Amino acid sequence: MSETRQEKALRFFRSGYNCSQSVFSVFSPDFGLEEKTAWAAASGFGSGMGALQKTCGAVTGGILVLGMRFFRQENTQEDKILVYSKVRRLVGRIEERFGSVECDSLLGADITNEAGLKAARERMLFKEKCEPVVLDVVKILENMI
């Protein structure tokens, strides 16, 4: 039995890839990208963009997917409007379900320093808080594309 995108994203996340890498890479074959290329492209978006705890990495990974899928390479205003509308839909769905798309709010901990990161790991916040967001973003994207 083949692995679903959600299962694969969760496996990547649990094996150490950040949330953005985990989301973007499971869609990368659809765009002719190798997983390792997707991991590189999304590497800076984890933990809310470089561990700044801004926009959730799973969401930014999803935004990368939407751009790859809906931008038609013509750079027209219509292309931008289409991509932006898809992004707003994704963000809106995550906000509805989790109350925010900001990493600090979703995680409920400050991981911008080593002590906070250690405490979040000990409290298993990445499993409890991040995994459901990764799974939902993948599910929403599957329905959108």
Locate the DSSP E strands across 2-143. none
Q: Report whether 134 contacts 22 (CB < 8 A).
A: yes
Q: How far apart, in whole angstroms, are the C-alpha atoms of residue 124 and residue 72?
A: 40
Q: Report whether 26 contacts 138 (CB < 8 A).
A: yes
User: What confidence tens digit (pLDDT) does each residue in 114-141 have?
Assistant: 999 999 999 999 999 999 999 999 999 9
> What pLDDT sits at residue 89?
98
The count of domains in the chain is 1
For 47, 96, 102, 105, the CA distances from 99, given in Å and listed in that order, are 17, 6, 9, 8
> What pLDDT sits at residue 75?
84
> What pLDDT sits at residue 73?
77
Q: How far apart, in whole angstroms, are the C-alpha atoms of residue 48 and residue 51?
A: 5
- Per the prediction, the chain carries an average pLDDT of 96
- Residue 62: name the closest of 127, 145, 129, 132 by CA: 145
> What pLDDT sits at residue 72?
84
User: Distance of alpha carbon 90 from its chain centroid, rounded?
Assistant: 11
User: What confidence tens digit (pLDDT) does each residue in 68-85 have?
Assistant: 999 987 888 999 999 999
Average pLDDT over residues 1-21: 96
Average pLDDT over residues 45-62: 97
Average pLDDT over residues 39-66: 97
Local confidence band at 23 (pLDDT 50, 70, 90 cut-offs): very high
Which residue range forms the structural domain that includes residue 120? 5-144
